[in-house]
Amino acid sequence: MRIDILTVVPKLLKSPLSDSIVQRAQDNEVVEIHVHDIRKWSTDKHKKVDDEPFGGIPGMVMTIQPILDAINELRSERSYDEIIYLTPDGETLKQGRVNQLSLANNLLMVCGHYKGIDQRLRDHVITMELSIGDYVLSGGELAAAVLTDAIVRLLPGAIGDEQSALTDSFQDQLLAPPVYTRPANYNGWEVPEILRSGDHAAIQNWMEQQAIERTKSKRPDLFEKDS
Ligand code: ADE
């Protein structure tokens, strides 16, 4: 998979994408991630990428020219499965959507800043709009990092233990069951006996029950929704 990200603050993406699983996936050629500074495409002599909104509203809006030129250059080199705009008024990101995007070959993400991008880009070139939750970030960069991380960890070869991603919370509309490690007794806090029994069928059954109980108590809404 290849992921291209357009931003006016590339530094914001550097750290989250250059450590841990996402970095390892890049080292192992599971994914290629390219972060591009939108200013590079600005034809303005001061490399301006924003302007005042029509209608006398306060704030600044990202202009069409640099973003459209960037997108056109990138898509002349390869075709993108989706051109995703990260925005608080997009579809709220859920695991089902992440799973679907993890099957793509090429993804292009556009990070908004200021009051966002000119609506005409959304109308004519953006193919998907995603929000990572009902709160407003300073820009789409951290949302793009979240989306990238969620996708990359699902790619074959990204996580050592292939089973691990499949047993994540939300993969089957359930939260993950509790986990424990050594020591079995820490100052009197005991690990449930069943997990030390060696009876794999019983352990599997216990974990499923725990996942159901946990979902019922923490996120009963998950039983009502289908994505
Ligand atoms: N940009 C600003 N806030 C955002 C959010 N909650 N999700 C995605 N992109 C955003």
Amino acid code (one letter) for 99 = N
Per residue in 65-101, pLDDT (tens digit) is 999 999 999 999 999 999 999 999 999 999 999 999 9
- State whether 119 and 145 are in the same domain: yes
Question: Per the structure, how many domains does the chain have?
Answer: 2
pLDDT band (50, 70, 90) for residue 170: confident
**Parent domain of 197:** 169-226
Distance 85 CA to ligand 1 centre (A): 9
- State whether 44 and 124 are in the same domain: yes
- The rounded distance, in Å, linking the Cα atoms of 170 and 187 is 32
**Mean pLDDT over residues 189-201, rounded?**
98
- State whether 145 and 175 are in the same domain: no
- State whether 187 and 137 are in the same domain: no
Per-residue buried b or exposed e for 127-142, using 16+ beta carbons within 10 Å of the residue's own CB: ebbbbbeeeebebbbb
User: Is the Cα torsion angle 21, 25, 28, 32 positive or negative in sign?
Assistant: negative
- State whether 203 and 134 are in the same domain: no
- State whether 42 and 136 are in the same domain: yes
Whether 227 shows a pLDDT value over 60: the answer reads no
Alpha helical stretches, state H, 28-140? 64-77, 95-101, 119-124
Out of 90, 120, 152, a domain closes at 152
CA distances to 11, 16, 43, 82, 142 from 71, rounded to whole Å, are: 20, 23, 15, 12, 20
Q: Determine, yes or no, domain membership for 162.
A: no
Distance 110 CA to ligand 1 centre (A): 11
Amino acid code (one letter) for 115 = K
Per residue in 40-61, pLDDT (tens digit) is 999 999 999 999 999 999 999 9
pLDDT of residue 96: 96
- State whether 31 and 62 are in the same domain: yes
pLDDT band (50, 70, 90) for residue 163: low
Q: 198-206, long-range: CB within 8 Å, 24+ apart, which pairs? A: 206/177
- State whether 95 and 184 are in the same domain: no
Q: What are phi and psi of 131, to 5 degrees?
A: -115, 145
Ligand 1 proximal residues by C-beta, below 6 Å: 86-88, 112, 131-133, 135-137, 140, 143
- State whether 51 and 128 are in the same domain: yes
Distance 137 CA to ligand 1 centre (A): 5
Q: Determine, yes or no, domain membership for 7.
A: yes
Chain centre to alpha carbon of residue 152: 9
For ligand 1, pick from 7, 84, 128, 136 the residue to mutate: most ligand atoms within 8 Å of CB: 136
Q: Determine, yes or no, domain membership for 159.
A: no
